[in-house]
Structure 1
C-alpha cells in the first residue's frame, strides 16, 4: 500500500517515464530472447543440413556405380578392379562381423570395469584407474593398428588360432567359424582389437551413469539383505539401462567407422568366408586402401558408393538404438 501511495505521489511525467523505460526493457528482453532462440535453432538445423549434405554428396558421387550395377552392387561379392566389376557385400559383411565381435567383447569387460570402479574398488584406486581408462581413449587408432600387426597378430597365429582350429573347428555348429589357416590376420583379430579400442568409451559412460544412481536406493537394497551383485543387477542397471544402451551404441558406432586399425590387421581380401580366421575387408578399410588407386570413374564411384553405404549402415544402427531407448523409456514409465 505504501508503494502505491508513493507511486501516486510522483508527478505524471515521472510516471510516464517509468512506464516507458519498463516497456523499452520489456521489448529488449523479448528481442534478445527471440534472437537467442533463432540462433540455437540455426545451430541445430546446421547439423541437419551438414549431415544431409554429406549423405547427398556421397550419393551423387556413387550414382555411376548404382546406375551401372544396380541392386547387384548390394549383394554381389566380386571386386575386380581390372574388369571394372564391383560389389559391396564383402565389405559390408566384414564391417558388421568385426563390429559385432567387438561389442561382444567390450560390453562385459566395460560393465566389469564400471562395476569395479563404482562398487568394489577403494576410493584411492578409483581415480587412477578411471584416468588410465580415459587415456586409452586418446590413443590414436594407428597405434592400435601397429600394435595389432606387430604384436597381437603373431600371438594369435602362434597360440590362439591353432588351438581354435584344432579344438573348436571340428565341432558341428560353430566349428566352421574357427576353421582356417592360422595366419593371425583376419576378422577375429580385428574384432578383438576393435573391442579393446571401444572399451574406454563404453566403460566411461557406464561408470558415469552408475555414479548417478541415488545412494538411498542402494543403501535400501543393502538393508534388505541384497548382495553387491544383486544391488547392481536389480537396482543400478534398471535405473540406468537407457544410458547404458546409449553408451553401448556409441561404442558400436565407433567400431563401425574405424579405419586405420582395421586396415592393418583385417587382411584386405575381397573374399566372403564364414570363418573368422580368414582375412576379409571392411568398408572403411577398402576406401582407405584403394582410394588412391582408383584409376577409372567407375572405380572411384564404387568407393564413394561404399562410403554412402557405411553412412546408411551407421544410420540404421543408431536409429535402431534410438528406438530401443524409447521403448525402454516407455517400459520404465509404465
Structure 2
C-alpha cells in the first residue's frame, strides 16, 4: 500500500517527533475529567468507556474544542498546544457523522484542508485525487456526499482528515453510522490506513471489537478517570472492572486469595489453579459454566453454586443465562442444552466451573 509521503504531489510531512504528551483535565459542573495520555508516533490508541465516562470530552480537549482546566497540559511533538486555536493545530478529525460539505464533491471535500493551508487550488485538487485513489474512490471523485454510501463517505472523511498530514488524528466513533455488513469491510480498510499513519491516532469507540482490531493500546475511562491501560490481549485477559469484563465477555469477581482459594468480597469462594496471596481478581468465560437441574454428584468441578435463572437471551447460536443466588454469573449453553434443562426465568439450577477454567491475578 502506498505510504502517506509516497503520494504524487503530496507535500512532505513534518519530521517524526515525540508524539503526544497530555494530561486532559476538564471541569464541567460536577463532572471532572482527569486523564493522562501519552503515545508515540505510529501508535493507535483507543479510548473506551461507558456513556458519560468522558471519552468525547477527552477527544474535544485534544482537538481544542473544549478548553483544558487548571492542571491540564497538551504537547504534540514537544510543542505546547494548550493555547493554540483549533484551526491552527496539526490535528485531523473524523467525526461520527463525517460532516462532509454537502455542496462539494468528494474531490473538493478532500481538497478543502490543503486549500485552507494555502495550497494552490490545482495542487490541492491533485493531492485530493491522490488520496481518493488511495482510498479506492477515484470513480466517485465527482460525487456529492448524498450520492455516497456510508462506507464511501467514511473514507472521504478519512481522506479529508489525512490530506493536511496531521500529527494527531482523532476518530470519533468512525464506524458507528455504518450497517453491520459494511462495518466489517470498512473496519478492515481503516485498519490498513491506520497502519500506514506515521503520527499519533486516537480513536473513541464504545465497540470493543473496533477497539481490539484498530488499536495497539486501549485506555478504559470510567467516571472521568483511567481504570485500565494496556494492549488489547492483556485487557481482554485481565479485566479490572465490571464494565471491561462485560465488554470482553467474562465473569469477573474480586476477593482475597489464600493459596488456591479465593474468598470473594460477595461471600462465596472460588477454587483456582493459581497459588496467590492477597487481593485478586478471578475471571472465567460464560462458556466455562456448566448447568445442572439437580445437585451434581461425582463432578470433577471444584466450584459449585446453587443459583436461579434471572434472565435468558439469545447470543448468536447460543443462549445466555443470567444467574443469581450464591453467586451472580452468566452462563452460555446451546439451545438444545437449554431445552433439555427446561430453563426459564426463575428456574433453580446448579452451576459448576472447573478450577482449570478460572484465571486469578493480582488486583
Does the TM-score normalized on the shorter chain lie above 0.5? no
Q: 1 or 2, which has the higher helix percentage?
A: 1
- Greater Rg by CA: 1
Question: Which fold has the larger relative contact order, with Cα–Cα distance below 8 Å and residues 6 or more apart in sequence?
Answer: 1
TM-score range, shorter chain: under 0.3
